[in-house]
Chain A
């Protein structure tokens, strides 16, 4: 099974830790071991970027603001192998 990698790059000097942790927590609870990793990267310059398997799915500079957890979850879900039909 191919597990998905998420990276969250956040502006540490802007105090974006709560939003970073909230998003990481939401992903952990939603996907558990279906995620290979969640990498948190402290950065600067007003950054809040989220990439899923190397694709930038949210950028504060591009979209403005923080992402809705649901939109990041949808991006992860789209990269997970389809569940077998029950």
Chain B
């Protein structure tokens, strides 16, 4: 299907989406506070020749939505040139099936960019590959740091409860410590995606 002005208008604004969240709103708002906007990225988006419409596909249970939507929401509020409308993935399967991750996964969030005539400009899915790679490496380091954690590929239910709790705390700490990097990478990728759009 094609995105139309009418359908776009039926999406939720970022604030309306947060109002409608049935869970994890506090995590989204905590993440908003951690977003430090890159001045060059802000200048770039403020200097766009015309506003861009951004279709977002999301669900409020999704960790990558909780992590990355606040980056877009905060950026959009700061620059004034990104008009964001959010749609629930599971109620808009025609949309998600248009932007499948690797052609097969319904990964979210999806940020899909359209010009004022709703011509497709490109899209962004889930999280930056650099973030996935960094966290996978850090995860391996955590497992290697303590023999009690066993293999990263072994089922965690076989760990004693106290070890599992310790491991979970280490993983949560690692995610926290890599948040700033992740937020910067999201901004960098969004800027690069939009910068690559040929002038019409």
Contact = CB atoms under 8 A, between A and B. Distances in A.
Contacts of A43: 156, 168
Interface string A54-74: 101001010000000000000
A41 B157 contact: yes
A51 interface: yes
Given A43-B168, A44-B171, A59 B61 contact: no
B148 interface: no
B155 interface: yes
A13 to B, nearest CB: 3
Instruction: Identify the interface centre among B63, B164, B168, B171: most chain A CB within 10 Å of its CB.
Output: B63
B62 A9 contact: no
Contact of B63 (A13, A17, A61): A13
A30 interface: no
Contacts of B153: 61
A9 B63 contact: no
A51 B62 contact: no
B59 interface: yes
B116 interface: no
B61 A49 contact: no
A9 B159 CA distance: 12
Contacts of A44: 63, 168, 171
A59 B62 contact: no
B155 A49 contact: yes
Given A14-B62, A41-B156, 15 more contacts: A7-B157, A9-B156, A9-B157, A13-B62, A13-B66, A15-B62, A17-B61, A41-B157, A41-B164, A43-B168, A44-B168, A51-B155, A56-B155, A59-B155, A61-B153
Top 7 nearest A-B pairs by Cβ distance? A15-B61, A13-B63, A7-B157, A49-B155, A9-B157, A56-B155, A51-B157
